[in-house]
Amino acid sequence: MFVRKMTPSQSSLFGEIDDLQDLTFIERPIRRSLKTAEEIDKLTVDEDLNDIERAVYLLSSGEDVQQASVIINLPILVRQNPAETFRRVVPKVREVLHVAGADMQLAAAGSFLTVLQDDIVLIQTHTHSILQIVLLNLDHRDTVVSNAWLETLLSAIDALPKDTIRQEILSPLLSKHQLSQSVPARLASCRILGKVVGKFESSIVKKDLLPLIRSLCQDVEYEVRACMCRQLENITRGIGLDHTKVEVLPELVELAQDEASTVRLAAFDTIINLLEMFDSDDRTCVIFPLVKAFCEKCFKGDEAVLASLSYQYGKLCHGLSESFTDEQHLWFLEFYKKLCCLGLQHENGHCESQPYPLELENKYALVRRNCAYNFPAIVLYADPNHFLSELYRTFSSLCHDPEISVRRTAAGGFHEVVKLLGPNVHYIHKEIIALLQDDSLEVLDALLNNIQETLELATSRGEGAGPESKQVNIPDLVPALVAAEQKTASSLHWRVHEKLLQCYSCLPRVVSGDQIYFRFFQRMFSIITTNNVLPVQREAVRTLCVFLRCNRKQEQRQEIISKIKQELAQGRSYWNRLRYLDLCEITIDLFSKSYFCKHFLIPALELVNDPVANVRYKLCYMLPKLRSTIKATDKHLLQQLEFCVRKLLCREKDKDVVVTLRKVKLLDQKKEKEETLLLEMVSDLPLV
């Protein structure tokens, strides 16, 4: 019987119990899922059967889950008893696979691959039976299953001997009339040919394989032509340069002019990957006209192929550049500029997207992004000395592109352009500022990956300037950096903010000390004392220490140190005092021990009286490191450190702090004993 008066919490509890009672229907499907006695009997196997007999029994009479288990564990059976497994189990697996579902087929493909790759001598005598199963299932009606078996076969080819490949794989392939085969079977033939060609001598490839390869290159289905075309790279490397010129190049030329864009794209990619295989005459007389026609056709309306063309463009230009005439060289450069502006209109020096259907606009944006990716390669191709006249406007367009992905890619490769320009890097100072002030944090994030190298090179006068010369000033650099930091600070992307602060450590090599003092120091203090993200706070502490280390004016250094003590070591928030201890760890690494002891040690030791246990806890951990900064002759500081430790031992009430202190002391004593023991061992060594 329930009590009539209940507290609010009790009322809520009983309300939840009533709600749970309404959910008892959940039990019903659980009960129905339990196995009946009859079902359990079906799943029960005689314990007296050995592994082979159990596998045969389950494959013959077991449930699907039991048959799948046998197939998955087939490699284990082969290792334990190869002869009996191949004699009794593998034939049963073949029968099961004839009616098996997709999951079991996929499991079998993986198991047979493991078996084929195992280094067991007895397996070699049974390779025929394994490959028969693999080849039989290549024609499976389920595309996923047939592809799995194909991947099994292709992976197994690496482990199979040449004679086995020729007898078991190539002979059936060559004896079949390809047009009578299904499209998936012909696609599989293409990939098999591309894989096995490297196993045989060029004479065998030319005699036995090239006729079939040519036939598949001219297949009535464009998917087959494209697939075979992509295998021509492997085939070319297998037959050598002489046969390539006579046998493969004509096929590539024809495929590059195919009616299907997929085939043309495959031919184009293959040609680029094989450029080094062609001699200068072939490049000038065959490849250049072919690629030029390909580029023009793509630009006029084959947007799908333009993406691949733009991505490969840098590689294409460098592969052909040595064979170019001046006219050909200029044509490719001008075509690249057209690709960079595809889908844009220029107004007042900036780019705006023209109104296109969304799908087409996205394709054009991808082309421009690929152009941005290739820009450093094109600078090298055009000669950095001609950057201002030939490529500056194009680069500025990419840096101001309306698509974020294009600007992000340009920012990611900015440092490469800076390195290539060398003493002419001042040409792109405006673009540095533009990307630092970009509306998208993605663009800024990409620029930050190499911003230190970028800024240092961009402000350097070159090798002949001398170490004492002033750095080149980049107009508006400091305001742009300040604005970038404020933008990241106000966003939720704290990792970008942390990265930017980390990059600030290069500023002493980029801008003047006064600029750092008046524009950045106070901001570091503000971040340390007000930001809510710990990694950002710590990075600001580290950056502050770097700024202090590089500051050359004594008055400014003293003011900064005084501010550190006042706002951090004696700060009202215990978070600020914790950051002071972080600062101490960093300054120990950055400054000399005497400088640290003079300015930072005493405020750290005074934190022994801190009212917050977390601060005293962190101080305990730092005691050995603080001790290492004090010289043995400095008795006064050693006494203060000892007084600090005694005070903690005598007065500390927080258990965690006491435990930590004792651990630190014990560890220090252990190290001291080890050092003493080592000295004694050395003194005991006999004199030579």
Q: What is the pLDDT of residues 509-520, one digit of tens each?
A: 999 999 999 999
Could you tell me the sign of the dihedral formed by the alpha carbons of 466, 467, 469, 475, in that order? positive
Tokens 């400091």 correspond to 478
Distance in angstroms (rounded) separating the CA atoms of residues 593 and 626: 10
Question: Using 50, 70 and 90 to split pLDDT, how confident is the model at 28?
Answer: very low
Q: Which of 125-129, 247-251, 335-339, 413-417 has the lowest mean pLDDT?
A: 125-129
Our CA angle for 305, 306, 312, nearest 5°, is: 95
Average pLDDT over residues 482-504: 95
Residue 344 β-bridge partners: 353
d(CA 551, CA 556): 8
Does the structure show a pLDDT above 90 at 322? no
Greater pLDDT, 78 or 305: 78
Among 162-171, 186-195, 485-494, which is the least confidently predicted range? 162-171
- pLDDT reported for residue 31: 45
pLDDT higher than threshold 50 for residue 15: no
| Residue 436 pLDDT exceeds 90 | yes
**Confidence (pLDDT) at 6:** 45
- Same domain, residue pair 527 and 451: yes
pLDDT at 427: 94
Place of tokens 């580290």: 542
Provide the β-strand partners of residue 404.
Answer: none
In this structure, are 420 and 494 located in the same domain? yes
Q: What is the pLDDT of residue 668?
A: 64
Spatial CB neighbours of 634, under 8 Å, sequence gap ≥ 6: 597
Q: Confidence class of residue 679 from pLDDT cuts 50, 70 and 90?
A: low
Q: Which residue has the higher pLDDT, 110 or 15?
A: 110
* Helices 249-256 and 288-299, packing angle to 10 deg: 20
For helices 222-243 and 261-273, the axis angle rounded to 10 degrees is: 20
pLDDT-based confidence at 32, cuts 50/70/90?
very low
14-28, 191-205, 401-415: lowest mean pLDDT where? 14-28
* pLDDT over 60 at 24, yes or no: no
State mean pLDDT over 235-264.
Answer: 83
Name the average pLDDT for the chain: 84
Backbone angles phi, psi at 301, to 5 degrees: 165, 5
Based on the fold, state whether residues 425 and 558 are members of the same structural domain: yes
Q: What is the pLDDT of residue 536?
A: 97
**For position 402, what pLDDT does the model report?**
94
Mean local confidence (pLDDT), 523-537: 95
User: pLDDT band at 323, cuts 50/70/90?
Assistant: confident
441 contacts 493 by C-beta, under 8 angstroms: yes
Which residue from 352, 330, 473, 350 is spatially nearest to 403, judged by alpha carbons? 352
Structural Rg of the chain based on CA atoms: 37
* Weakest mean pLDDT among 37-41, 220-224, 570-574, 679-683: 37-41
* 656 CB-side CA count, 13 A: 9
pLDDT band at 673 (very low <50, low <70, confident <90, very high): low
Tell me, yes or no, whether 174 lies in a domain: no
Residues 658, 546 share a domain: no
Angstrom distance (rounded) from CA 119 to CA 117? 6
What is the pLDDT averaged over residues 524-545? Answer: 96
Looking at residues 338-365, what average pLDDT do you find? 79
Please tell me which residue, 11 or 342, carries the higher pLDDT value. 342
DSSP designation for 371: H
Which of the pair, 679 or 179, is modelled with greater confidence? 179
Q: How many beta carbons lie within 10 A of that of residue 447, not counting itself?
A: 24
Dihedral over Cα of 65, 67, 70, 74: its sign: negative
pLDDT of res. 348:
56
H helical segments located in 598-634: 602-605, 613-628
510 falls within a domain: yes
pLDDT in the model for residue 598: 93
pLDDT at 285: 84
Closest CA to 528 of 569, 557, 558: 569
- Residue 158: pLDDT band by 50, 70, 90 thresholds? confident
Mean pLDDT over 623-628 rounds to 89
Q: For residues 32 and 371, which has the higher predicted lDDT (pLDDT)?
A: 371
Higher-confidence position of 678 and 406: 406
Let me know: does 610 contact 577? Beta carbons within 8 Å.
yes
Please give the Cα distance from 485 to 497 (Å, whole number). 7
- Does residue 260 belong to any structural domain of this protein? no
Q: What is the pLDDT of residue 9?
A: 43
- Decide if 482 is inside a domain: yes
CB 89 within 8 A of CB 55: yes
At residue 574 the predicted structure's pLDDT band, cuts being 50, 70 and 90, is: very high
Kindly tell me if the per-residue pLDDT of 20 is higher than 50. no
Query: What's the pLDDT at 27?
Result: 42
User: Average pLDDT of 118-145?
Assistant: 77
Q: Where are the beta strands (DSSP E) in 49-166?
A: none
220: enclosing H helix or E strand: none
Domain tally for the chain? 2
As a whole number, mean pLDDT of residues 188-215 equals 86
Closest CA to 567 of 503, 612, 522, 500: 522
* 583-591 contacts, C-beta under 8 A, 24 or more apart: 583/541, 583/544, 583/545, 584/622, 584/626, 585/622, 585/625, 586/541, 586/542, 586/545, 587/545, 588/625, 588/628, 588/629, 590/545, 590/546, 590/549, 591/549
One domain, residues 439 and 524? yes
**Pair 563, 625 in one domain:** no
pLDDT at 45 over 60: no
Distances (CA, A) of 620 to 39, 416, 600, 649: 66, 47, 16, 11
Residue 497 included in any domain: yes
Amino acid letter, 153: L
pLDDT of residue 113: 86
Provide the pLDDT for residue 66: 84
What does the pLDDT read at residue 469? 45
- Which residues in 386-415 are b (16+ Cβ under 10 Å) and which e? ebeebbbebbbbbbbbebbbbbbbbbbbbb
Is there a single domain that holds both residue 424 and residue 560?
A: yes
Looking at the structure, tell me whether residues 419 and 555 fall in a common domain: yes
Q: Is residue 295 part of a domain?
A: no
Q: What percent of the chain has pLDDT over 90?
A: 40
Share of the chain above pLDDT 70, in %: 85
Is residue 439 in a domain? yes
61 located within any domain: no
Residue 345 pLDDT greater than 90, yes or no? no
- 429 and 514 housed in the same domain: yes
pLDDT of residue 37: 54
On whether both 542 and 657 belong to a single domain, the answer is: no
> What confidence score (pLDDT) does residue 467 get?
43
Determine the average pLDDT of the residues in 121-125. Answer: 59
Q: How far is CA 655 from CA 346, 605, 652, 659, 669, in A?
A: 70, 20, 8, 6, 21
The 3-state DSSP class for residue 622 equals helix
pLDDT at 122: 53
Distance CA 625, CA 629 (A): 7
C-alpha distances (whole Å) from 467 to each of 35, 246, 422 are 84, 60, 17
Task: Count CB atoms within 10 A of the CB of residue 283.
Answer: 20
The enclosing H or E element of 124 equals helix 121-124
Residues 456 and 548 in one domain: yes
More confident residue, 90 or 120: 90
Higher-confidence position of 260 and 659: 260
Domain holding 435, by residue range, is 413-462+473-568
* pTM listed for this prediction: 0.76
Listed residue (202, 212, 203) closest to 238, CA to CA: 202
The tens digit of pLDDT for each residue in 358-392 reads: 888 888 999 999 999 999 999 999 999 999 999 99
For the residues 115-142, what does the mean pLDDT come to? 77
User: Virtual CA dihedral for 154, 159, 162, 165, nearest 10 degrees?
Assistant: -40
Range picked from 53-57, 258-262, 344-348, 599-603 for highest mean pLDDT: 599-603
| Rounded Cα gap, residues 222 and 226, in angstroms | 6
Quote the crossing angle between the two packed helices 429-436 and 451-458, to the nearest 10°: 150
Of the candidate ranges 110-119, 221-230, 458-467, 535-544, the one whose mean pLDDT is the lowest: 458-467
Averaged over 523-550, what is the pLDDT? 96
Task: Read off the pLDDT band of 682 (50, 70, 90).
Answer: low
Beta-strand relationship, 344-347 and 350-353: antiparallel
d(CA 474, CA 509): 13
**Residue 448 sits in the same domain as residue 536:** yes
- For the segment 549-554, the average pLDDT, to the nearest whole number, is 93
Could you say which of 508, 535, 568 is where a domain stops?
A: 568
